[in-house]
Amino acid sequence: MSTHPDKHAGLEFPFGATRGVGGADGQPIQVADHILGVKQALPFALDHVNCWLLGEPGDQVLVDTGVDVRNTRDSWSEHLSHTTSGDSQARPERVLITHFHPDHMGLAGWFASAGSKLIGTQIETDFSRQLWDIEDQTYAEFYADWYQSHGLPQKTVSTVRENANTYKKLVHRPPPKDSWSYVDQGDTIELAGQAYEVLIGKGHAPHMLMLYRPADKVLIAADQVLPSITPNVSVMPRIKDPNPLKSFLDTLASLRQLPEDTLVLPSHGAPFRGLWAKLEALEHHHEQRLDEVLQACTAEKSAFDLFDVLFGRELDAQQTSFALGESLAHLHYLEAKGLLCRSESDGVVRFVRA
């Protein structure tokens, strides 16, 4: 994920352009009728995720959970005990998970163990279980080989090879298939007495769940549209979509059917209005990136060779994974357009202008 100079052009922030919703973790703010925003801390450079509580105790739906660490569990326990009548097993009646990433899926199993019913898309929830079940050594070897095949330095590859299953570290054991109620594009579901249309976002995740409430033009956008950063769009070795950037841009185009003044509730950053301006900015951002990649590939380039072109800064371990996936996403998009072709030598995949 990255920022760009005019990131807030055309946007309005009804609650201020803060980092996330509310103040201290677990202290909610009301962002729309029957919707509370709750910010939970993350142990990453991107240091928070917004979760949404729909409705009131007794008929309450939580959208996304944060990662499975003690601080997040304690935060939810404290908040929910204050919003129910002293119930020591306080929990939302239903938990809706937008996609498989740890900051969204992390505590689904923990809430389910306390009796919450789960809602999600089948593709995302199946994928979460598949990732979680991979043995540590298999997981490490698989990703180390992926890094090596795209030109990353041997020191980085060796570090990855020594890691365990990093997904499992931040995600409670995902609940089994029969624990979920599935929804998909075009469904209308009632959550806490309100009707929501189900929209599916692609590119950032394979089949990410978004919710649109037409009664007052509110979009729970997950990670598809963010106010201050561009969502990470990655080719990932276990995800089947070979051209996620095209999938992402197609989703942005589909969101133009929503009203311009839709209130967007993003998973990171502050709620905002100005959906069309943000869609245009994201499309323009990727057009620029594609042109930069194409210009750089006058000679053969690996995905790692493009890190300086696309990111130009030192990256931590998580950001390195995102950067590799995002470099590949732009390369695959241009390859599918017939503008680049690939070759492989010395075990490294490289791309050059056709």
DSSP secondary structure letters along 201-220: E-SSSTTEEEEEETTTTEEE
Q: Which of 12, 1, 36, 15 is nearest to 220 (CA)?
A: 36
The span from the CA of 292 to the CA of 309, in Å, is 7
Coil, strand or helix: which one is 47? coil
The span from the CA of 235 to the CA of 170, in Å, is 22
Supply the pLDDT for residue 86: 47
> Could you tell me how many helices (H) and strands (E) the chain has, helices first?
11, 15
> What is the full per-residue pLDDT of the chain (354 aa) written as tens digits?
554 446 788 999 999 988 888 765 457 899 999 999 999 999 998 999 999 999 998 999 999 999 999 999 999 998 887 655 444 456 899 999 999 999 999 999 999 999 999 999 999 999 999 999 999 999 999 999 999 999 999 999 999 999 999 999 999 999 999 999 999 999 999 999 999 999 999 999 999 999 999 999 999 999 999 999 999 999 998 999 999 999 999 999 999 999 999 999 999 999 999 999 999 999 999 999 999 999 999 999 999 999 999 998 889 888 999 999 999 999 999 999 999 999 999 999 999 999
Residue ranges of domains in the chain: 29-275
Contact 224, 231 (CB under 8 A): yes
The span from the CA of 272 to the CA of 279, in Å, is 13
The CATH number fitting domain 29-275, selected from 3.60.15.10, 3.40.50.150, 3.40.640.10, 1.10.167.10: 3.60.15.10
